[in-house]
Structure 1
Amino acid sequence: MQRLAAYALITRTRAGVEEILLSRLSDKVTSGVLWALPGGGVEHGEHPRDAVVREVHEETGLDVEVGEQARVFSLHEPRAWRPGRRVDSHAVRLVFDGVVPADAPEPQTIEVGGSTAEAAWVALEDVRSGKVPTVSVVREALGLR
């Protein structure tokens, strides 16, 4: 099982605090609280840059501009657990740097019933310290691994 996904790393400084835009995974995806970069699966025939813009909008309600270049992360889990069974999973994740307008509204999830429960700006220090639980691609994109 292989999955190609595109994500955006979006940060800002507000009132002197560095923040990162994250999406909290829904109960449909995880049983505990877990945060991820906004983004998701690239559909067949879809350009990854278009996919990340679409996914960021669905998960946060925000319009993002992403750069031309992406960092590539690969995660192979030969015995990953997927609903009801073990699978040989390979996730290829493209992470683009993204920017939202300074006057953008607060994030809100547009897609109902999907993999995202909510979106929020989170203090980057809380992510770096581990206070906010995140999926591996967040830590990889921030150079924390």
Structure 2
Amino acid sequence: MVQRIASYGICVRDGSLLLARFVSPDAAVRHWTLPGGRVEEGEDPVDAVVREVEEETGYRARADALLGVDSRVFTMDYSDPPGLTMHAIGVFYEVTLTGGALRDETGGSTDTARWVPLAEVASLERAALVDVGLALHRQRPRTGHVPPIPVTGLLRK
């Protein structure tokens, strides 16, 4: 089993959600995800989300609130070797953009960044973590509890 800790930013502005499109190393898999990614060894998750938002979208960000932590185990849809089991721990933050400009990442794990109207998110092929992040963002009062979202793998369709 592989374990991965990652930080993700939830940024909603004018009724749209900031998303990035993940591309697998062989470019066979593409889906929308929240800007974010792996927390490097010794890195604080807050620093990771700020770094990842800028790398993937071009925006400088500030982490305003810890929304919650999600933990799930699943068989990866793509892996080397195929069928690896992943324990994914996601740390979700509400972020505010403080500068920069929207641009696509080059040479990374995503190929484009976009503002997507909230009403259109459910129609996208997307990582399950998008639904987790939005559920945490909508939750009031903010408890940090991740409500059950039935997913069998990494993607939602």
What TM-score bracket applies, with the shorter chain setting the length?
Answer: 0.7 to 0.9
CA-based RMSD of the aligned residues comes to 2.0
Matched, 1:9 2:4: no
Partner of 1:125: 119
Residue identity over aligned pairs, in percent, reads 33
Deviation at 1:40, TM superposition (A): 0.2
Q: CA deviation at 1:46?
A: 0.3
Match in the other structure for 1:21: 18
Q: List aligned pairs for 1:56-95, cutoff 5 A.
A: 56-77=53-74, 79-80=75-76, 81-95=78-92
Please name the residue that 2:129 is paired with: 137
Q: 1:38 to 1:131 in 2, by over 3 A?
A: same
Residues 74-100 of structure 1: per-residue CA shift (max 9 Å, x gap):
1101x3341233222100000100111
Q: Unaligned 5+ residue runs, structure 1?
A: none
Q: Compared with structure 1, are the counterparts of its residues 135 and 30 closer, same or farther at alpha carbon in structure 2 (3 Å cutoff)?
A: farther
TM-score calculated relative to the size of structure 2? 0.78
* Native 8 Å contact 1:29 1:115 kept in 2: no
Closer, same or farther: CA 133–49 of 1 in aligned 2, 3 Å: same
Question: 1:116: which partner in 2?
Answer: 110
Report the CA distance between 1:29 and its aligned residue: 6.7
Deviation >3 Å, runs of 4+: none
Rounded to whole Å, the distance in 2 between the matches of 1:108 and 1:62 is 8
> Does the aligned pair in 1 maintain the 2:58–2:100 contact within 8 Å?
no
- TM-score normalized with structure 1 length: 0.84
Query: Would the alpha carbon gap of residues 47 and 135 (structure 1) be closer, same or farther in structure 2, given more than 3 Å must change?
Result: same
